[in-house]
A and B are shown apart, each in its own frame.
Chain A
Amino acid sequence: MSRQSSKKRAGASAKRNGRAAANGAAPDSGRLLSWYRDMLLIRRFEERAGQMYGMGLIGGFCHLYIGQEAVVVGIQACLGERDSVVTGYRDHGHMLAAGMDARGVMAELTGREGGYSRGKGGSMHMFSREKNFFGGHGIVAAQVPLGVGLGFSHRYKGEDGVSVVYFGDGAANQGQVYESLNLAALWELPVLFVIENNKYGMGTAVSRAAAGSGLHARGGGFGIPGRLVDGMDVRAVHAAASEAVAEARAGRPAILEMETYRYRGHSMSDPAKYRTREEVNRMRRDRDPIERLRHVLESEGHAGADALKAIDAEVREIVSDAAQFAEQSPEPDPSELYTDVLLEA
């Protein structure tokens, strides 16, 4: 299949580098550069997806990850091939960071045969068994018990894999999250809960939806430790995740609350009346995770202008190629309507 194509088209390099993760040690130039590339790939991919949505090539719901790139890139950098990942519907960045092919993701957005779900899932429903990426789930917080179940399967099979469950600040108020925290702690399951607090559950600010002293503290009653992390700083994310993943792997579930921000609306049809343009501009100007890492790379001498330019060009090429593929891939055959409802018994 086209999505298992050349290395060059591979979505991101986080997985490849992940195995070299050295807990506690400052990441070297190579790792910093790969994170920069992975974040930039997500940024450019999402910008293109937004553009294609505007052109009518992508339909339905489409939730962009722009602004939050450091979260998934920093965390995926701590995982290995044996670990599993599940998330909600703002999932394009997670798929790219999990090493899924940009072509397959973009072609799923356009609802084509070359998409990860052969056009039957769309933006919110993509999966890759090969990459242990278990979705892509459209119901707020439904992925949380699923992720605990994946952790259960690791433990049951005697593997040392960790299950990482991403969910948002909105999902953090759902009842099933607390049923899941209870089960994970009670059964000592290898699960890391990552709360991506991007400040708004659709149009409702966290302060208007969540009581208490912070989402990271919500595991307290279950004995699950939580940490608040600057989710706009990939190095801070990586450092926190290195520790938390190790804890989870040992059967001590953990929570990381990532303070992050989405620049775009909740979905493509969001007029964003609930926040000011100044607020968004201030975040972009002062906190942008990609600009921040770019500054580190340059000021600390990890990379010269040429190296960064080359990454820019590589990323643009991957995204253009994915967009072209997603436009050219045919719609699924009408016979696909009836396939994949049940597996043959």
Chain B
Amino acid sequence: MAETTRKIAFVCSKGSLDMAYPALIMGWAALGNGVEVMIFFTFWGLDIITKKRMDALQLAPVGNTSLRTGMMGLPVDVGMPQIASILPGMTAVATALMRKKMAEMDVPPVSEFLQMLQDGGAKLYACKMTADMMGLSQEDFIDGVEIVTASDFIDMTEGAQIVFI
């Protein structure tokens, strides 16, 4: 029996910083283990491959009950009061904190990470319908991104494991 290569397709539908990294990290791990990787960006996930947005993704503390003061290096580890999260500048603070933590773990910024993935053989796709809806076209995306329809995606992912983020 011929050996078939395992394939994983990630669907990135969210454009916040914390929702961008899971597919990038798991995709990179998959490439390192010899698994074929496809990443399909749709809706807000298009921000991840949009040149003007990709390195400006944010982490919003509003409604995020997992954010704790301990993450900010404070000695007392309690949940952030939700009322504080609506203060102006809190999103910037949370975003800067997460970027710093990721850099400490040697995780590269989104643009560099996508280049690594493409160099490792991952294929990146943008959803045509949502790109049209948001007025985005080929030149808004980084090199190597192919715009495809949902139907194309279904065809391409035959036999692949699909992870929706």
Chains A and B form a bound pair: no
